[in-house]
Structure 1
Amino acid sequence: MTQIRYADRIRMLEAPRGRVRCVLDTDTYNEIDDQFAIVQMLLSANRLDLQAIYAAPFHWPGYVEHPAQGMELSYDEILRVLALMDVKPEGFVYRGVQSYVGPEKVGRDAPAVDDLIARARASSTADPLYVVAIAAISNVASAILKAPDIIDKIVVVWLGGHALEWPHTLEGNLRRDVGGAQVLFDSGVPVVLLPCLGVVSHLLSTVPEIELHVEPHGEIGKFLAQKYKEYTDDHVGWSKEIWDMAPVAWLLNPDWCESVVTHTPVLTDQVTWSVDQTRHPMRYVYRIHRDPILKDFFDKLKARSQGAKLTAGSANTKVLELPPRSEDRRRPTRNGGHPDR
C-alpha cells in the first residue's frame, strides 16, 4: 500500500476548509436515514460540492436476500430522492458492487468503483476527495484494493461500527462486510469514524418533530416524513435515530461532532475492536450535538420550500432552488423495527 507521511495524514484528518469536494456511498433502500442524508447534502451546496452518489450493497435475510438486490433497490431509491429534488441522475449516480469484499478481501468491479478511482486520482494529498460512506464499505474497499495509490488522495468519513469501548462492533454497516472494513482500517487511508451505538445513537428525532419541521415542506418533506413514520406503527413514546446525517454534519460543521485523533483500532475476525498503539492515526467522533444538526437541516428544508436563497444557521449554505415534483413512488412499509444497530 502507498504510505502517507505522518504530517500529511494528520493534516488530512483536520476538518476541511472552504467548499468540500465529496462523493456519497449509500445503501439508500436499507433504512430511512440515507434519504435524509442525500437531501441534507443537496441542500448544503455552498459548503458541499457533491460530485457523485454510489449505490452500495446490503442484504437482510428474509427481506433482501442478496447484496446485489440491495444495491439495485438502493440505486432506484436514490433516483426517487433525486426526482423529488429535481436533480438529474445522469453522470451523477453509479451502481455499486454486487458482492461484499468479504473475508477473502477481493476488490469487486462496479461503475461506482471505477468512478471513485478516477475522481481520487484526479485529487491530491493537498486537496483530497472526501468519501462520505454510510453503508457497508464494499465500494470504497474495492477501490482501495484495485488502486492502492488513491489512499493519499481521499479521506473516508464513515458511519460504521460501535463506540471503541463497546464490547462488540456488530453494527449493520460493519458486520455485513467485515473483510471490507478490515481493508479500510488496515490500508492506512485517512478515516474519520463515526460509530453508531454510544455516539451517533444520540441523533434522535420523533414523529411530532418530523411532522412539524419536515412534512410541511414540499414533496420531498412529505416523502421523508412518510418514510420516518412508516418505520413502525407504534409512535407512542417512540424516537428514531437518523444515523446517516452524522457524517454529513461533520463536514458541515465539525463543532457538531466532537472528535479526537487516536490510533486506528484493529478490527478482529470476531468483530471486536482491539488496541494497537503503533497503528496509524484516525479521527474518532466521540460525541454528537443533535440539536444544531437537526436545526440546520430543518431550516434549510423550510427555506427551500419557501424559495429562499440562503438558509439560517452557521453553515450559511445556499439552498438549491429546485421545484419539488409530484411523483409519489413508494416502497412497501417495513414495520417492526430495524435490526442493524
Structure 2
Amino acid sequence: MKREELLALPSACVRAVLDTDAYNEIDDQFAIVYAMLAPERIELEAIYAAPFLNKRSSSAADGMEKSYDEIQRVLGLLCAADQVPTFRGAEAFLVDHPAPLATDATEDLITRARQRDKGPLYVMAIAAITNVATAILLAPDIIDNIVVVWLGGHADYWAHNGEFNFQQDVPAVKAVLESGVVIFRMPCVPVADHLQLTIYELEHYLSGKGPLADYLCQIFRNYREHEGAWTKVIWDIAVVAWLVNHDWVPSKLAPAPFMQADNSWSISSINSIIRTAIQVYRDPVYTDLFKRIITYSAR
C-alpha cells in the first residue's frame, strides 16, 4: 500500500498481531484481553512474547519465557488458548547481538506481513521493540505492508525518553525509526499516562464477574506499590484503544522524531511523516473495556 494510505486512520476491522512482555508488570494482561474482546475492530492473528529484564526476571530470556507463559495463562482464562497462536521471541535484546537473529516470532511476523493480499498488518508493539526491529532488519521488504503501533518514548517535546520500553533496547528503537516503516506512536508521557486506574474502581466493576475478571483484579491488587492513595497506569491498553476507536485517541501527522546522542528527540521537517497520539480520553476507554469484560464473563 502507499504510505499515505497506511498513515490514514483505519475505518474498519484490521489484521493485527501483538508483541508483548506480558509478565513485565500488569498492563499487558489488560491489553491482551482488550484486543481479544474487540473482534469487530481487531482481527488478532498472533501474539509474540518479548524479552524484558527487571526485578520480575533474571535475564531477558527469562523475561521472554515468563511472558510466553503469561500469555498462555490469559488466553486460557479467555478460553482461547487454541484460537490465537503464540510465538516465542528474542532471548536477548537487539543490542546484545552482533546481528539480528530470527525467532519463531520474527518468522511469523515476516510471513504475515508478506500476505499483502489480506491487507496491511498492524503490529501492536507494547514492549521493548526488539522482535519488531529484528523482523524489519531480516526482511526490510515488509515495511510496505505493516503499521507499527508503538508504545514507546515520551512526547516529542519531553526532556528525555527514560521509560522502560525505550530504554530496554535503544538500538532496536533506532532501527525501527530509521527503517521508513509507517509508525503510529503512542508517547508514554504525557499521553498514555492518562490511563490511571485505582483498585477500588477496578473491583467495583469487575470483582466477582468470573475467573478472567477476578484474575485482573488479583494481579492489580498484588502489584500495589505503596499504602495510601495509589493509582496504576495501564499503559498498554492505549494502543488497543487507538484501533478500537480512534476518536478516543486524537492524533496528528508530523515528522518522525530523530534520536539524539542522549536519546532525547529532535524534530526535523526532512524526517518521514508518522502519526502521533496527542491525547487519550481515559473514561470512554475504561468504560468500553469493562463492558467487554463483563459481557464476556456473562456468557
User: What TM-score comes out, normalization by structure 2 length?
Assistant: 0.96
2:115 maps to amino acid: A
Deviations 1:184-242 (A, max 9, x none): 11100000000112111111111110111122221010100111111126452111100
Kept in 1: contact 2:152–2:188 (CA 8 A)? yes
CA contact (8 A) 1:128 1:154 kept: yes
**Which residue identity does 2:29 align to in structure 1?**
Q
Q: Does 1:97 align with 2:90?
A: yes
In the alignment, which residue of structure 2 is the partner of 1:183?
175
Q: What letter matches 2:184 in structure 1?
A: V
- Within the candidate set 59, 73, 77, 2:70 is matched to 77
Choose between structure 1 and 2: higher helix proportion.
Answer: 2
Runs of 4+ displaced beyond 4 Å: none
CA contact (8 A) 1:10 1:281 kept: no
- The answer to whether the 8 Å contact 1:168/1:273 transfers is yes
Match of 1:14 in 2: 8
> In structure 1, how many angstroms separate the alpha carbons of the residues matched to 2:108 and 2:149?
18
Alignment of 1:224 with 2:221, yes or no, is no
Sequence identity of aligned pairs in percent?
A: 43
Match of 2:105 in 1: 112
Give distance in 1, aligned partners of 2:116 and 2:98: 25
Query: What one-letter code is carried by the residue in structure 1 that aligns with 2:40?
Result: N
Alignment partner, residue 243 of structure 2? 251
CA distance in 2, matches of 1:294, 1:235: 24
| Among candidates 59, 62, 69, match of residue 66 of structure 1 | 59
Write the deviation string for residues 142-192 of structure 1: whole angstroms up to 9, x where unpaired.
000000000001000010011111100011001100000001111000000
**Structure 1 residues 268-317: Cα deviation after superposition (integer angstroms, max 9, x where no partner):** 3421111221010000001110000000001111111222xxxxxxxxxx
Structure 1 distance, partners of 2:291, 2:84, is 29
Partner of 1:42: 36
Mean CA deviation greater in 190-199 or 63-72: 63-72
Distance 2:38 2:209 in 1: 16
Q: Give me the CA root mean square deviation.
A: 1.6
After TM superposition, the structure 1 stretch with the greater mean CA deviation from structure 2, 51-60 or 82-91, is: 82-91
Question: Secondary structure at 1:262's aligned position in 2?
Answer: strand
Which residue, out of 204, 229, 244, partners 1:237? 229
- CA distance in 2 between partners of 1:84 and 1:214 (Å): 14
Q: Is the alpha carbon distance of 1:38 and 1:24 closer, same or farther for their aligned partners in structure 2, counting shifts above 3 Å?
A: same
State the partner residue of 1:325. Answer: none
Measure how far apart 1:63 and its partner are: 4.2
What secondary structure sits across from 2:250 in the alignment?
Answer: strand
Aligned pairs (5 A) from 1:144-155: 144-155=136-147
Please state how far the C-alpha of 1:90 moved relative to its aligned partner: 7.2
Residue 266 to residue 83, structure 1, CA distance change in 2 (3 Å): same
Take 1:115 and 1:35, find their aligned partners in 2: how far apart are those partners? Answer: 22
Q: Amino acid of the residue matched to residue 149 of structure 2? A: V
Map 1:189-208 → 2, pairs under 5 A: 189-208=181-200
Q: Which amino acid aligns with 1:94?
A: F
Q: Which amino acid aligns with 1:102?
A: V
**Cα distance in 2 for residues equivalent to 1:19 and 1:182:** 30
- Per the alignment, in what secondary structure is the counterpart of residue 278 of structure 2? strand
Cα separation, 1, equivalents of 2:158 and 2:133: 24
The whole-number CA distance in structure 2 between the counterparts of 1:195 and 1:65 is 28
**Secondary structure of the corresponding residue to residue 95 of structure 2:** coil
Structure 2 contact 19–127 (Cα < 8 Å) conserved: yes
1:106–1:145 CA contact under 8 A, matched in 2: no
Q: CA deviation at 1:89?
A: 4.2
Name the TM-score, length of structure 1 as normaliser.
Answer: 0.84
CA contact (8 A) 1:105 1:183 kept: no
In structure 2, relative to structure 1, the CA distance for the partners of 1:235 and 1:112 (3 Å cut) is same
How far 1:112 sits from its partner (Å)?
Answer: 0.2
Q: Which moved more, 1:234-243 or 1:85-94?
A: 85-94
Structure 1 residues 70 and 104, CA gap change in structure 2 (3 angstroms): closer
State whether residues 26 and 135 of structure 1, in contact with CA within 8 Å, keep that contact through their aligned partners in structure 2.
yes
8 Å CA contact 1:160–1:174 kept in 2: the answer is: yes
Pairs aligned (count): 299
Say if 2:131 is the partner of 1:139. Answer: yes
1:215 aligns with 2:207: yes
Whole-Å separation in 1 of the counterparts to 2:84 and 2:250: 35
